[in-house]
A and B are shown apart, each in its own frame.
Chain A
Amino acid sequence: MEWVNAVLQGTLLGGLYALFAAGLSLIFGVMRLVNIAHGDLIVLAAYLALSITAGFGLHPLLALLLVVPAMGLLGYALQRGLINFTMGGDILPPLLVTFGLSVIIQNGLLMGYTADPQKLQAGALETASLTLLGLTAGVLPLLTFALAVAVIGALQWMFYRTAMGRAFRATSDRQDVALLMGLNRAHVFGLAMALSLAVTAIAGVLLGIRTGFDPAGGGARLIFGFEAVIIGGLGNLWGTLAGGVILGIAQAIGGQIHPGLQILAGHLVFLAVLAVRPRGLFPKMEG
């Protein structure tokens, strides 16, 4: 039974990893940008929520109403004001600039909030749980997983059913021809980054309630997000959810075998998938 429980807890944890990954997957899909600062932006969103909850006395989930648009705006400004200038034929400049951004965010947070670990206080939600058929699951992990499914469903719908999604796919397909459709590439990229960081805001707040955070915690979130994207297959959002779940289950089972194995087991499964299926388990079909 405890193994079944481990799989359940791992699956729910996978929801959080999918939220880490969805924004990465989105911007890679639209503009082939690998955002090294993604994990630090997740942590930044958590700190933003911390300040809002402390300042206004809001519940962290209510703070999302402010954190999500704020991160979205930041994403648009960041893309148009900085990252767009590095986008071109070469993949290296944006990589270096987002790496620099990562260092700046970490040190900025260190100056503003000190190195002390912080946590978002969500009251009864943190400990509430449901028991069914002898299995117990926390309400927060269940909520996280449900939000992950909702976010990925919404992104999928946006991508395949809306004018903005068409613009994203067209720009991803052929940037030059997209210009001929009157699409302003800088604006399209800005929107993609805005959406990516809006998802990051949700991930950051849930992370902050669940485990707490400190200024140096971005790197691990970036790795988990990357691994979920790669396991699931580039360019496939539902695959990203599956990738997150596989990573979560691997960690939970590893932790069940030996507590020290938890993180390592996730990396090993990632490497195994990379060795056997380099394009991920569910790569996007080329049309």
Chain B
Amino acid sequence: MAEPLLAIDRLDVFHGDFQALYGVEAEIAAGEMVAVIGANGAGKTTLLSALAGLLPRPAAAIRWQGSPIGALRADRVARLGIALVPEGRLLFPSLTIEENLIIGGRMGRRGPWGLEAVYRLFPILRERRAFAPAQLSGGQQQMAAIGRALMANPALILIDEISLGLAPVVVRQLYEVLPAIVGEGMAAIVVEQDTSRALSVSRRFYCLQEGRVALAGASGSVTREAIGRAYFGV
């Protein structure tokens, strides 16, 4: 089998003295959409932060196209083509929406995404481009955060809690555009608490429970009961 885009091998991650992830194993192929599900505190956000290089992790535990990247700083990881849409959006408050998008594209990686393409995907952002992030609704901010990550033309996009705190209608809109994003050949890891939604858009899934992978498999064939057991550990 060909080398996966990203391979995670026995990944332990600590927050200070507290161990948040235990020997996590996972992988994702180029252009694939994978969901990471699990209850609050299961370690989903920790996993994405570690992949993006924001948390200390073992050097050899994460391989990108075969090379270990666990020792790289977050800005180096970003340059490889791994973009994170962080939980809570975390736009730059003193930059306008357009500036937030432009800074996302500053690394100059080639690809289909640019200001025009992001504005076509989310037309409301074009209207609000001169606004400060705080003047936008939560859903519009999430669009800007996704747009900012897309501007980097990443090979892998990590999306954390895409639907957290958003109105259902906005969540539906965002999920409608996800296939279009992955359709451009980009791989995606989507972290989500809404299990059924996550399973419906992804090809495969990993279910985390208290820092360990409790269940993994194809999203289409898993039963509700199996998910329930892996989710709650009962």
B92 x A174 contact (CB < 8 A): yes
Residue from A169, A174, A181, A286 within 8 A of B78 (CB atoms): A181
B83 in the interface, Cβ–Cβ < 8 Å? yes
A173 in the interface, Cβ–Cβ < 8 Å? yes
In the bound assembly, the distance between CA atoms of A176 and B134 in angstroms comes to 19
State which residues 89-142 of B face A: CB under 8 Å: 90, 92-95, 99, 102-104, 106-107, 132-134
A173-B106 in contact given A179-B73, A179-B75 (Cβ < 8 Å): no
B197 in the interface, Cβ–Cβ < 8 Å? no
In the bound assembly, the distance between CA atoms of A236 and B208 in angstroms comes to 47
A181 x B104 contact (CB < 8 A): yes
B144 in the interface, Cβ–Cβ < 8 Å? no
Q: How far is the CB of A116 from chain B (nearest CB, A)?
A: 46
A129 in the interface, Cβ–Cβ < 8 Å? no
A177 x B90 contact (CB < 8 A): yes
Residue from A173, A179, A183, A287 within 8 A of B54 (CB atoms): A179
A166-B75 in contact given A179-B54, A182-B152 (Cβ < 8 Å): no
Cβ contacts under 8 Å, A166 to chain B: 95, 99, 102-103, 106
B104 x A287 contact (CB < 8 A): no
B54 x A176 contact (CB < 8 A): yes
In the bound assembly, the distance between CA atoms of A102 and B225 in angstroms comes to 68
Cβ contacts under 8 Å, A156 to chain B: none
B79 in the interface, Cβ–Cβ < 8 Å? yes
B95 x A173 contact (CB < 8 A): yes
A118 in the interface, Cβ–Cβ < 8 Å? no
Cβ contacts under 8 Å, A180 to chain B: 52, 54, 74-75, 78, 83-84, 86
B211 in the interface, Cβ–Cβ < 8 Å? no
B54 x A169 contact (CB < 8 A): no
A170 x B103 contact (CB < 8 A): yes
A167-B53 in contact given A182-B78, A287-B94 (Cβ < 8 Å): no
In the bound assembly, the distance between CA atoms of A174 and B92 in angstroms comes to 7
Cβ contacts under 8 Å, B53 to chain A: 179
Q: Tally of A-B residue pairs with Cβ under 8 A?
A: 68
A163-B106 in contact given A179-B54, A179-B75 (Cβ < 8 Å): yes
A5 in the interface, Cβ–Cβ < 8 Å? no
Cβ contacts under 8 Å, A178 to chain B: 92
In the bound assembly, the distance between CA atoms of A170 and B133 in angstroms comes to 13
The range of chain A's interface size is: 20 to 34
A172-B94 in contact given A179-B75, A181-B78, A181-B103 (Cβ < 8 Å): yes
A169 x B86 contact (CB < 8 A): no
Cβ contacts under 8 Å, B148 to chain A: 181
A210 in the interface, Cβ–Cβ < 8 Å? no
Residue from A169, A176, A185 within 8 A of B95 (CB atoms): A169
Cβ contacts under 8 Å, A184 to chain B: 73, 75
- Can you name the residue of chain B whose Cβ is closest to the Cβ of A183? B75
Q: How far is the CB of A180 from chain B (nearest CB, A)?
A: 5
| B46-90 to A contact mask, C-beta < 8 Å, 1/0 | 000000111000000000000000000111001100011010001
In the bound assembly, the distance between CA atoms of A172 and B94 in angstroms comes to 9
B132 x A287 contact (CB < 8 A): yes
A170-B86 in contact given A179-B74, A182-B78 (Cβ < 8 Å): no
- Can you name the residue of chain A whose Cβ is closest to the Cβ of B54? A176
Q: How far is the CB of A164 from chain B (nearest CB, A)?
A: 10
Cβ contacts under 8 Å, B99 to chain A: 166
- Can you name the residue of chain B whose Cβ is closest to the Cβ of A173? B92
- Interchain Cβ contacts under 8 Å between A and B, 14 examples: A166-B102, A167-B103, A169-B95, A173-B92, A173-B94, A179-B73, A180-B54, A180-B74, A180-B83, A180-B86, A181-B107, A181-B148, A287-B94, A287-B133
Q: Interface of B with A (CB < 8 Å)?
A: 52-54, 73-75, 78-79, 83-84, 86, 90, 92-95, 99, 102-104, 106-107, 132-134, 148, 152
Known: A173-B95, A176-B90, A179-B73. 8 other contacts (CB 8 A): A166-B103, A170-B103, A172-B94, A176-B74, A177-B86, A177-B92, A181-B104, A182-B78
Q: Interface of A with B (CB < 8 Å)?
A: 163, 166-167, 169-170, 172-174, 176-185, 286-287
